[in-house]
Amino acid sequence: MTNSEIKATLSFSDGSPSLEMPIYKGTVGPDVIDIRKLYATTGMFTYDPGFMSTAACNSSITYIDGDKGELLYRGYPIEQLAVNGGDFLETCYLLLNGELPNAVEKEKFVATVTNHTMVHEQMQFFFRGFRRDAHPMSVLVGTVGALASFYHDSLDINDPHHREVSAIRLIAKMPTLVAMAYKYSIGQPFVYPRNDLSYSANFMHMMFSTPCAPYKTNEVLVRALDRILILHADHEQNASTSTVRLAGSSGANPFACIAAGIACLWGPAHGGANEAALSMLEEIGSVDHIPEFIRQVKDKNSGVKLMGFGHRVYKNYDPRAKLMRETCYEVLQELGLQDDPLFKLAMALEKIALEDEYFVSRKLYPNVDFYSGIVQRALGIPTSLFTGIFALARTVGWIAQWKEMISDPEQKIGRPRQLFVGSQTRDVQPIEKR
């Protein structure tokens, strides 16, 4: 962050003194006006619900240009990382450390993560406390938060080594917890991780093996899962990441912060969108029902949205959606599901929406979740677990952002202010007079 030559001046129509504010330049992207002295000088706050124009921090992890449809992790375009950037753990290393690993660094990192994949044996008692039909996100909020009770040796957030160990633990144990949530929901025994498998292959093993039959690894499907993880690994200061940062700003431990991120991700406008997109397709049912559905979407009073379409930042296209669409075709081809009715319905809906004036004028394009639900369904992942897979992928982004925040000398506890529109001071009346 460097100072710009230009300064911003805020003036008032009532003749109050104006305020000059510094402007900082990022490496790329919009400059920011430093308003930190605004309240002390003028007694006013800024008003920006939804943070439409507010940079809450400086960061060197992920950059998005919504108009260009560009997503960079540490400067590398997502298209290159997804195609030539190695597996998900290479992306994890990049997000955490700022550089792609060389062969020796990669080997060491993979070994470290692999050696932390088991969870404390007592964790299974937490799972057993849940109803079998509990939503996996509720189970994950609880069990990830509970990890803090087991790993006291890495909770000192002021110790860089503790932060590193917690980061590795979270990345390593998330697949185990997500798979345990699934196994519990279907009444099958938990499956322990296998250290001879890759991160994604091991996850599929824990999901789909049983004591009676091992899961046979399919390279195309493992690659597809790996791509889902890479595409969802980080996404700048989105709602769940900001939640993690805000929770962490008070000094909360990393397991609690990630549990807070999972809670936020659960919402249908964020991580719940892939689950909602698939449920929407199932509800529409057939291509003939699309026009009626589109009519409802356009009716503001219906409350119906085209899930998997639109994005707060991407107003041209979502680069992740393009890559996910490719993977979608690959997986359906591999499994001989090209004629899957749900996929055909999705393609018809996508075509109609992309040509419709309502969507075109509002710059609404398919986002990554429009396709990731179809891919996950083809991989055999149940709909209710889709957001859990998103949480698994995003854990590395959350923890990288959390680590960056803790080591930022400008870090302060997050404390937004408000425009108060409630009652002025008034006196409490005795009950008979109210």
Task: Write out the residues near ligand CMC by the rule CB under 6 A.
Answer: 235, 238, 269-271, 273, 297, 305-312, 362, 364, 367-369
Distance of CA 371 to the CA centre of its chain: 16
Minimum distance from residue 57 beta carbon to ligand CMC (Å): 18
Minimum distance from residue 271 beta carbon to ligand CMC (Å): 6
Annotated catalytic residue, options 135, 232, 311, 318: 311
In the bound state with ligand CMC, the residue whose beta carbon lies nearer, of 16 and 53, is: 53
Which residue is it, tokens 């964790």?
123
Catalytic annotation present for 311? yes
In the bound state with ligand CMC, the residue whose beta carbon lies nearer, of 113 and 374, is: 374
In the bound state with ligand CMC, the residue whose beta carbon lies nearer, of 267 and 382, is: 267
| Two tokens, residue 162 | 């503790």
In the bound state with ligand CMC, the residue whose beta carbon lies nearer, of 295 and 362, is: 362
User: Distance between CA atoms of 346 and 269, rounded to whole angstroms?
Assistant: 19
User: Distance between CA atoms of 171 and 116, rounded to whole angstroms?
Assistant: 9
Catalytic annotation present for 120? no
Which residue is it, tokens 């408000």?
418
Minimum distance from residue 312 beta carbon to ligand CMC (Å): 4
Minimum distance from residue 108 beta carbon to ligand CMC (Å): 32
Of 358, 389, 224, 222, whose CA–CA distance to 291 is shortest?
A: 358
In the bound state with ligand CMC, the residue whose beta carbon lies nearer, of 35 and 273, is: 273
Instruction: Determine the residue with CB nearest ligand CMC.
Output: 310
| Two tokens, residue 365 | 């394009």
In the bound state with ligand CMC, the residue whose beta carbon lies nearer, of 183 and 311, is: 311
In the bound state with ligand CMC, the residue whose beta carbon lies nearer, of 206 and 280, is: 280
Minimum distance from residue 119 beta carbon to ligand CMC (Å): 27
Which residue is it, tokens 């006291």?
152
- CA dist list (Å): 288 to 252, 361, 366, 373: 51, 24, 20, 22
Minimum distance from residue 432 beta carbon to ligand CMC (Å): 48
User: Distance between CA atoms of 63 and 76, rounded to whole angstroms?
Assistant: 9
In the bound state with ligand CMC, the residue whose beta carbon lies nearer, of 228 and 306, is: 306
| Two tokens, residue 272 | 């719940």
| Two tokens, residue 4 | 């710009």
User: Distance between CA atoms of 110 and 208, rounded to whole angstroms?
Assistant: 22
In the bound state with ligand CMC, the residue whose beta carbon lies nearer, of 79 and 105, is: 79
Cβ atoms of residues 373 and 308 within 8 Å? yes
Annotated catalytic residue, options 87, 234, 318, 369: 369
Minimum distance from residue 421 beta carbon to ligand CMC (Å): 22
Minimum distance from residue 405 beta carbon to ligand CMC (Å): 20
Minimum distance from residue 341 beta carbon to ligand CMC (Å): 22
Q: Which residue type is seen at 152?
A: H
Which residue is it, tokens 């909020």?
141
User: Per DSSP, what are the bridge partners of residue 62?
Assistant: 73
Q: Catalogue the active-site residues.
A: 311, 369
